[in-house]
A and B are shown apart, each in its own frame.
Chain A
């Protein structure tokens, strides 16, 4: 009696091969090892440090490798009040980060200027950088930052970088 195996099933390699889409794999790898660039500018940075420490442990989400070099980081966490004097330094560090890169605006000040309606403060980092996730709070609790990080992970999960690139290339060569 001849039985036909399902198309993607072979008992010899069972458990060793996984079929998936390339985008799904890339996104899975990216979202689980987000190396943050800790742009700590004010009290939000204290909560960011708390989120990195043992009790809240940002390592559970693969984002524990705080990189103080923009060349090695994936996500910039802008934590704190961005003054105009600091704004272009933040922008410059963002420009030095390699693609793909994301930005989390942590706290009221980084999101909107917060309570600093003043001549010296940039009214939200989104006036300079493309922000992916805003975290509310003044300052946000570590859980809120982790929630923001999870939101960013969900966003990365839905990215279609490779299939978009494939479509572009098809347009070029056809």
Chain B
């Protein structure tokens, strides 16, 4: 079965919102309710036995705001399929796929840690990079790079990092990249 056949079978079986073919890669966007069934179908019927990655996107300003992305791979047939689903900010709950691919465990914890999307049915949904008790989700677009101050007694604290005019910050302006990047600026300008 080729990638195209696999995608077609998924399209027959499920309601697909959007299919994008780009340079030999196929991305299928599904409604969130069908996502878990589609993953199960892809694994059991189409042979996508390996979950390469599970990530999330914050389309800040759009509705629904978030997007979860599943990168599926078939080790037998060497084909690669991408499934996506939109997640609304009002209901940040996505079904877990840890029962299909155990590797999803830590990927889902990372998505939860960085974006705040919860995975229902996950066996151990804790933060993985930041500490328990940290009140923010740092990879969201409305979270500043320098961070926010927080304090969890006996665990950790955080303070905003000094960023303005720092040596590693590209200036936000519509100008050409060569005028914005850090090495273009002289010490006296800062």
A: residues with CB less than 8 A from B are: 84-85, 87-88, 113, 115-121, 123, 127
Asked if B158 and A84 sit within 8 Å, CB to CB, the answer is yes
Contacts of A113 in B (CB 8 A): 161
Partner of B156 from the list A85, A116, A117 (CB cut-off 8 Å) is: A85
A121 contact from B129, B143, B161, B166, Cβ within 8 A: B161
The winner among A84, A87, A127 for most chain B CB atoms within 10 A is: A84
Nearest-neighbor residue (CB-CB) of B166 within chain A: A117
* 12 further interface pairs, Cβ-Cβ under 8 Å (given A118-B146, A123-B162): A84-B157, A85-B156, A87-B157, A115-B168, A117-B162, A117-B163, A117-B168, A119-B143, A120-B138, A120-B158, A123-B159, A123-B161
The 6 A-B residue pairs with the shortest CB-CB distance in the complex, in nearest-first order? A119-B147, A117-B161, A84-B158, A84-B156, A85-B131, A119-B138
Cα A123 to Cα B160 in complex, Å, equals: 9
Chain A residue nearest to B169 (CB atoms) is A117
* Assembly CA distance A120 to B148 (angstroms): 10
Of all chain B residues, the one with the shortest Cβ separation from A127 is: B159
Cα–Cα, bound, A27→B136 (Å): 48
In the complex, A88 Cα to B158 Cα: how many Å?
A: 11
A118–B136 Cα gap in the complex (Å)?
14
Q: Identify A119's interface contact among B131, B161, B169, CB under 8 A.
A: B161
State in angstroms the CA–CA spacing of A113 and B168 once bound together. Answer: 12
CB of B154 closer than 8 Å to a CB of A: yes
Instruction: Give chain B residues whose Cβ lies under 8 Å from the Cβ of A121.
Output: 161
State whether B162 touches A85 (Cβ < 8 A): no
**B69 on the A face (CB < 8 A):** no
One of A88, A115, A117 near B146 (C-beta < 8 A):
A117
- Give chain B residues whose Cβ lies under 8 Å from the Cβ of A115: 168
Contacts of A84 in B (CB 8 A): 131, 156-158
Within 8 A of A (CB), among B41-60: none
Does B75 sit within 8 A of A, measured CB to CB?
A: no
User: Please, which residues of chain A bring their CB within 8 A of the CB of B130?
Assistant: 85, 120
Min CB–CB distance B19 → chain A (angstroms) = 37
**CB interface residues, B 114-163, toward A, < 8 Å:** 129-131, 136, 138, 143-148, 154-163
Establish whether residues B145 and A118, one from each chain, have CB atoms under 8 Å apart when the complex forms: yes
Complex Cα distance A117/B164, Å?
10
Bound Cα distance A113, B146 (Å): 12
The closest CB in chain B to the CB of A86 belongs to B156
> How many angstroms from the CA of A113 to the CA of B160 in the assembled complex?
12
Given A117-B168, A119-B148, are A87 and B143 neighbors across the interface (CB < 8 Å)? no
- Closest CB of chain B to A90's CB: distance in Å? 11
**Which chain B residue lies CB-closest to A128?**
B157
CB neighbours (8 Å) of B144 from chain A are: 119
Measured CB to CB, the closest approach of chain B to A19, in angstroms, equals 51
The 8 Å CB contact of B154, one of A85, A88, A120, A123, is: A88
Instruction: Give the chain A neighbours of B161 by CB distance below 8 A.
Output: 113, 116-119, 121, 123
A123 to B138 Cα, complex, angstroms: 17
